[in-house]
Chains A and B, each alone.
Chain A
Amino acid sequence: MVYKSLVSISDYGREDYLDILDKAESFEQNPNRRLLEGKVVATLFFEPSTRTRLSFETAVNRLGGRVIGFADASCSSVTKGECLKDTIRIVGNYADLIIMRHPLEGAARYASEISTVPIINAGDGANQHPSQTLLDLYSIRKTQGRLDHLNIMMIGDLKYGRTVHSLLMAMSHFNPTFQFVAPDALRLPKEYVRFLSEKGIPFQEYTDYMPYIEQADIIYMTRVQKERFLDPIEYERNKNAYVLTNEALQHTKDTVKVLHPLPRINEIPLDVDDNPKAYYFTQARNGLYVRQAIIAKVLQLL
């Protein structure tokens, strides 16, 4: 049996994505299935992340598996200076699967090369977080009934937001049209602009969403963080331009859904939560089913 780690969203292609989304659908119908009976899964969080860790651990528990691991590197022998290689080798002796988050970029790729058991990357620094991207895809398909030929509007920090970059790469398999809305300081990096141009995927870049929001099928919001701006005045000038209000949502399609990887700060006011177009909390719940599906895919359980 060939196990395949999931480190980067580009490790998988269109068919793999669809396979995971189909599996996730079946887990949504019936989340409690004892496919991991008798198996041990290690969750190694060298950097804390409560929501991602609890979501993965819930997925393992609902599949009937057992969890070992740590929620913070300070509770591990990393504090004694143990290198990643040794930690992975040793945990690989105990567990059937390793789910890891690490502050260093490339840590999960390296772990997948030295590990005897498969690795699921739950985030490596600012690099990759593939389970987030897959749950974004799941939420898009579930709300729109399809992935192909959708108009995706991304708003906020398009420069540093790794979820934006990964979702863009994953959606590129499904003939999308993109609208990118960001302040000049946080525009989409040119390597992604080049990627889209080379693939012939239509896209526009704006600094204001208002005139174009009516075309969107999906609005993908991200945080605009103060520390990304060199000039604090520039931040003050921009912070409200990327806030999505109920008023703005009146100008959108009836079928539009608002997604956000969470946590949010002020870019979506609390009163939008009750708008039927707001989908981010359901999106987060979908993460559970998608993570069950990823575990099943990586361990070839279904």
Chain B
Amino acid sequence: MTRDIKNEKMIVSALKNGTVIDHIPPRNLFKVIALLDLDQCTSQMTFGTNLNSKLLGKKAIIKIADLFLEEKDIDKIAMIAPTAKLNIIKDYQVVEKRALCIPDVVKGIVKCLNPKCITNNEEVPTVFEVVERHPLTLRCHYCEKTVGQEDIVLR
């Protein structure tokens, strides 16, 4: 157990410049990889999963060299893995640690599940009001249907 945690620290600090996304629930790791289009990214990357975590029991981690995420992408991660933490690494040092925060209103990221919603039939950007944070529950501003964490699909 102590050895594992030590190893993780070594892996994290081995990044010179870039971003570490830590505390991802393991079952959401591949969703996060997909939403950030990391399969298209040419930077050096390390993925770890089912690592021990005091917070989650098991967690996954993504390290990406020379990549700093935009706010839009950070908001997307918050929708899929709200427990995740971001570490920004510059010159082997963690220069910024941030928890993800879910805004009160989510614009343009999430798809409405209702096939009869105007946003799925005309060119209308989606807007959701956050009804509950734990577990994440969103209500479509247009058709007024709610969607729970498990059913959230990104646009």
Contacts and interface: CB of A to CB of B under 8 A. Distances in A.
A105 B146 contact: no
A125 interface: yes
Given A83-B123, A110-B124, A8 B118 contact: no
Contact of A110 (B114, B142, B145, B146): B142
A206 B49 CA distance: 49
B143 A105 contact: yes
A109 B142 contact: yes
B60 interface: no
B123 A106 contact: no
Dominant secondary structure of chain B at its interface with chain A:
loop
A110 B146 CA distance: 18
A270 interface: no
A191 B146 contact: yes
Interface string B83-116: 0000000000000000000000000000000101
Nearest to B118: A106
A185 interface: no
A85 interface: yes
Interface residues of B, number: 16
A105 B117 contact: yes
B144 A104 contact: no
B70 interface: no
B142 A125 contact: no
Interface string A74-111: 00000000011100000000000000001111110110
B144 A106 contact: yes
Contact of B143 (A83, A84, A106): A106
A102 B143 CA distance: 12
Interface residues of A, number: 18
A206 to B, nearest CB: 26
B128 to A, nearest CB: 12
Contact of B116 (A83, A84, A103): A103
Contacts of A125: 116, 143
A12 to B, nearest CB: 15
B117 A85 contact: no
Contacts of B116: 103-105, 125-126
B110 to A, nearest CB: 14
Contacts of B118: 84, 102, 104-107, 109-110, 124
17 contacts: A83-B122, A83-B123, A84-B118, A85-B123, A102-B118, A104-B116, A104-B121, A105-B117, A105-B118, A105-B142, A106-B117, A107-B118, A109-B141, A124-B118, A125-B143, A127-B143, A128-B144
Interface of A: 8, 83-85, 102-107, 109-110, 124-128, 191
